[in-house]
Amino acid sequence: MAISARPRGRPKAFHDKTDQNTIQALDRGLSLLERVAARPGLSLSELAAESGEAVATVFRALVTLQGHGMVEAEDGGQLWHIGPGAFRVGNAFLRRTKVVERARQPMDALMRDTGETANLGIEAGDEVLFLSQVETHEAIRAFFPPGTKAPMHVSGIGKALLAWYSEMRVARILAAKGLERSTPATHVTAEALRADLAQIRMRGFAIDDQERAPGMRCIAAPIFNSHGEPVAGLSVSGPAFRIALEEAPRIGALVRAAADRVTQATGGAQP
């Protein structure tokens, strides 16, 4: 009788995510790396205070990460920043998908056509993860460096993805993340958000009307895979005084056309 073998390299408890199957020191180190990435330039004592760990523990973790080039210290070792090793690891993630490469030219054109910053993002862990950006030359502009995350319900890209997700998937994300208020314009009830998602599907693009940050607007459209499923989103972001609501149909058409070009370039299909 044939006996099916487990996939090579995976222990019996591969799918068990309980505490006994995590390495606490590694977990603390990765959490510290995320903290340095989110707030570069913090001192050892500040990182220790924010993480709730002892200064000696944080120092050992930082030195270990520094040995792998994941973090580096400046100003005589006082302030900590992300190192080149972290860039190499992150860049490997970007190489997994051709969407970043194929989106670059449409994003450049979108920035020139609208005069605003163009962004590319995906969903990661029920949040929007920004992968790439083409900045406008305007002095006042939106800035979402690669690796920045945002809640789905306050992001133009997040809402563009949610609008084409299944109802079951939307419900799961809302249950997991909730609808925290970022500004007075944020949708904080499922009914209000779903009404907005219905409008997004009808017009083909999403509008973040100062829902994440006061005075900033974002217009976004989804990118689809070969099964017609939304897998990424393009957007333009800028100050509300430059992105007037009366301009939304014109800008939305440009954003949707750019997203459609990326869909086509990556072998995707409209749903």
> Residue 8: inside a domain, yes or no?
no
Q: From CA 142, how far away is CA 239, in angstroms rounded?
A: 7
Q: How confident is the model at residue 97 (pLDDT cuts 50, 70, 90)?
A: low
Determine whether 18 is exposed, middle or buried from the number of CB atoms within 10 Å of its CB (0-12, 13-18, 19+): exposed
Q: Are 205 and 130 found together in one domain? A: yes
pLDDT surpassing 60 at residue 14: no
pLDDT surpassing 50 at residue 171: yes
Residue 139 belongs to domain with CATH number: 3.30.450.40
| pLDDT on residue 19 | 53
Q: Are 128 and 198 found together in one domain? A: yes
Q: What percent of the chain is modeled with pLDDT above 90?
A: 59
Per DSSP, the residues of 11-80 read -TTTT--SGGGS-HHHHHHHHHHHHHHHSTTEEHHHHHHHHT--HHHHHHHHHHHHHTTSEEEETTTTEE
Query: Which among 30, 54, 87 is the end of a domain?
Result: 87
| pLDDT on residue 114 | 96
> Residue 69: inside a domain, yes or no?
yes
Q: Could you read off the pLDDT of 141-167 as tens digits, one per residue? A: 887 778 889 999 999 999 999 999 999
Among candidate residues 248, 220, 253, 250, the one with its CA nearest the CA of residue 235: 220
| pLDDT on residue 190 | 96
As a whole number, mean pLDDT of residues 57-67 equals 90
| pLDDT on residue 77 | 65
Among candidate residues 119, 196, 120, the one with its CA nearest the CA of residue 154: 196
> Residue 271: inside a domain, yes or no?
no
Q: Are 225 and 253 found together in one domain? A: yes
Q: Could you read off the pLDDT of 99-125 as tens digits, one per residue? A: 888 999 999 999 999 999 999 999 998
Counting DSSP H helices and E strands in the chain, the numbers are 9, 9
Phi, psi of 197 (to 5 degrees): -65, -35
**Of residues 38 and 184, which shows the higher confidence score?**
184
Q: Could you read off the pLDDT of 16-40 as tens digits, one per residue? A: 444 555 688 888 888 999 888 888 8
Q: Are 255 and 137 found together in one domain? A: yes
Among candidate residues 231, 232, 172, 230, the one with its CA nearest the CA of residue 201: 230
| pLDDT on residue 146 | 83
Q: Are 32 and 106 found together in one domain? A: no
What residues contact residue 111 under an 8 Å CB cut-off, 6+ apart? 117, 118, 134, 135, 136, 236
Q: Could you read off the pLDDT of 201-245 as tens digits, one per residue? A: 999 999 999 999 999 999 999 999 989 999 999 999 999 999 999
pTM: 0.70
Number of domains in the chain: 2
Q: Could you read off the pLDDT of 190-213 as tens digits, one per residue? A: 999 999 999 999 999 999 999 999
Structure tokens at 195: 């009404």
Structure-token match 């789905």, residue found: 152
Q: From CA 147, how far away is CA 36, in angstroms rounded?
A: 12
pLDDT surpassing 70 at residue 6: no
| pLDDT on residue 25 | 85
Residue 60 belongs to domain with CATH number: 1.10.10.10
Q: How many CA atoms lie within 13 A of 130 on its CB side?
A: 22
